[in-house]
A and B are shown apart, each in its own frame.
Chain A
Amino acid sequence: MTYSYYPGCSLHSSAKEFDISTRMVMQELGIELEELEDWSCCGGSIAAGVSHEVGMALAARNVVLAQQKNRDLLASCSGCYNKSAKAAKALENETERNKITPILSQMGMSVSDSNTKVRNVVDVLANDVDISSRIKKPLRGLKVACYYGCLLTRPQELTGWDSPVFPMSMDKLSEICGAEVVDFRSKTKCCGGPILVPQEKVAFELTKRLLDEAKSLGADCMVLACPLCANNLELRQPDIEKAYNVSYKLPILYITEIIGLALGIKPGKLGINKHVVSPKPVLAKLGF
């Protein structure tokens, strides 16, 4: 199976470990990724709130690039995944397609009728492959809090996820890897990612709530699949600690990183050394 891989802006910058670990895990599992040539930003949660047409055209552009290759589009970032899936659906609707097509044709692209599907890395790992028989290094004793956030699972009719409010796919993957999953009730509560810059205080409050719960459950780390969530939860964690005079030092890992470890891939090869909140306690617990 070969996918057109869409890393998006974050995986080429602040979320490089997500990019590296996605590629390593997929390779290990025999799934080929071919980076989508000349991809562009999907517009995230922001573009459509400035102009619906611009937002949809941005996201649709990547879907159409994948169509031209006759391949399904695989996105790791939850935001890219969600917006691409939304655009793919819009392309099937006549009114919406008529808004998008003229913009894309001005870019010299033609929209075809191929049935390119948009997939997320968690979905593929949970549903298309059997990881259980490939576990070489079970993550014994590691307590993880699986955090899904918003765009990975919602709205359900777009993502087809197991549940929009209490999904289990990442929990199951973590269990298969041998980790102990804590009962993280806030697993689909929003971290405030899209409003972080203009409404920093509010976003910090929302993120703090998540860190508090994960910490109180005794989790060794939080596991997620969204670079925007990681931005709030990890990169800004020191700022939140300062603002509230608390200490978390909670490692935030991408699901592909912990799966990679369980598959026996060396931490360095997964990019784990690139984290800002040190993942050393997690690695130490696993005996690395």
Chain B
Amino acid sequence: MVAKKKCFFGIKTDRQVDGDKISQKFMDKVIAEGGENAAIASCMQCGTCSGGCTNIDRMDISPRKLILLLQRGEWETILKSNTLWLCTSCYTCTSRCPRGVRPADVIEAVKALAIREGIQNDSTRFNQIFVELVKKRGIVFEPELMHQYGGIEAMLEQAELGVKLALRGKLSPFPAKVKDSKIFNQALEKASEK
């Protein structure tokens, strides 16, 4: 057994100091989903990412801690975290990280895995509907998106804006689509079945 090293400052309790807790399994899973650039293992827990994060005030787990939990394999905690759905994919964290970790891409991959593992909330529902509609025609038709997500109620709420847009020629009454939407759709459906 590897002897437990003490953190240099001896006080930080959630700091990965000994390496023996690193669990490769979930890091591999995230990298398999989101691409090899995620470089999760090289995170040194400096917190620079969290320091610039758009939505940190509202997150239950900071981007830094999310990376730590991922290193440790605490997958259940990550899945339950609201951080996944408050992250706006703004890439501030990724731009700031001195170690080449890309928290934004990591979170993006974790989102996809969370949806596949059955996590459900308003955000997952909206994101899934959005993607289904893109797969269907290749071009988003906003009224349809709003209708599928929020029902008639959401349509009515947005009616005033809809009228303004229509009057300015910015809202087509018909959805646009790619030429061969059937083949387009089939290819993406197949890619979704994993």
Q: Which residue of A lies closest to B176 (CB)?
A: A12
Collect the chain A residues with CB atoms within 8 Å of residue B111's CB. 49-50
Residue B156, interface by CB 8 Å: no
A106, CB-defined interface residue at 8 Å:
yes
Chain B residue total in the interface (Cβ 8 A): 64
Consensus secondary structure, chain B interface: helix
Contact indicator B86/A199 (Cβ below 8 Å): yes
- CB of A48 within 8 Å of the partner chain: yes
Q: Per-residue CB proximity of A171-206 to B under 8 Å, as 1/0?
A: 000000000000000001110111101110010001
User: Are B140 and A54 within 8 A (Cβ)?
Assistant: no
B55 interface residue (CB < 8 Å to A): yes
A9–B55 Cα distance when bound, in Å, is 27
Residues in B whose Cβ lies below 8 Å from that of A28: none
Tell me, yes or no, whether B72 is within 8 Å of chain A by CB. no
A90 within 8 Å of B (CB atoms) = yes
Given A46-B130, A154-B94, A54:B164 Cβ within 8 A: no
| B121 to chain A: closest residue by CB | A198
What residues of chain A lie closer than 8 Å to B108, measured between beta carbons? 48-49, 52
Contact mask for chain B residues 173-194; partner A; CB cutoff 8 A; 1 contact, 0 none: 0001011100110111011101
Contacts of A103 in B (CB 8 A): 187-188, 190-191
CB distance from B85 to the nearest CB of A (A): 7
Known contacts A52-B33, A90-B35, A96-B35; A154 and B126 CB within 8 A of each other:
no
Is B161 part of the binding interface, using a Cβ–Cβ cutoff of 8 Å?
yes
Contact between A198 and B123, CB atoms less than 8 A apart: yes
**Contact: A195 with B85, CB < 8 Å?**
yes
On whether A50 and B112 interact (CB within 8 A), knowing A38-B178, A103-B188, A106-B187, the answer reads: yes
Give chain A's interface residue range (CB within 8 Å of chain B).
Answer: 35 or more
Q: How far is the CA of A273 from the CA of B54 in the complex (A)?
A: 33
Please classify the interface of chain A as helix (H, G, I), strand (E, B), loop, or mixed, using the class held by over half of its residues: loop
**Distance (whole angstroms) from the CB of A228 to the closest CB of chain B:** 10
- Interface contact B127-A46, CB-CB below 8 Å: yes
Q: Is residue A26 contacting chain B, with contact meaning CB distance below 8 A?
A: no
Chain A residues, CB < 8 A from B115: 49-50
Residues of B contacting A154 in the complex (Cβ-Cβ under 8 angstroms):
90-92, 94-95
Which among A107, A108, A164, A235 has the highest number of chain B CB atoms within 10 Å?
Answer: A107
A276 within 8 A of B: yes
Q: Which residues of B contact A31 (CB under 8 A)?
A: none
B159 at the binding interface (Cβ < 8 Å): no
A230 to B163, CA, bound (A): 18
Q: Which residue of A9, A53, A106, A195 contacts B88 across the interface (Cβ within 8 Å)?
A: A195
Interface residues of B (CB under 8 A from A): 33-36, 52, 54-55, 58, 85-86, 88-92, 94-96, 102, 104, 108-109, 111-112, 115, 121-123, 125-128, 130-131, 134-135, 138-140, 142, 146, 149-150, 161, 164-165, 168-172, 176, 178-180, 183-184, 186-188, 190-192, 194
A-B interface, 7 closest residue pairs, ranked by CB to CB distance from nearest: A40-B138, A106-B187, A190-B90, A154-B91, A150-B90, A49-B111, A164-B95
* 30 A-B pairs (CB sep. < 8 Å): A13-B165, A14-B165, A14-B171, A38-B179, A46-B127, A50-B128, A51-B192, A52-B33, A52-B34, A53-B192, A53-B194, A57-B191, A103-B188, A107-B183, A107-B184, A107-B187, A150-B90, A150-B92, A151-B90, A154-B90, A165-B52, A189-B54, A192-B88, A195-B85, A199-B85, A206-B55, A235-B161, A235-B165, A274-B168, A276-B168
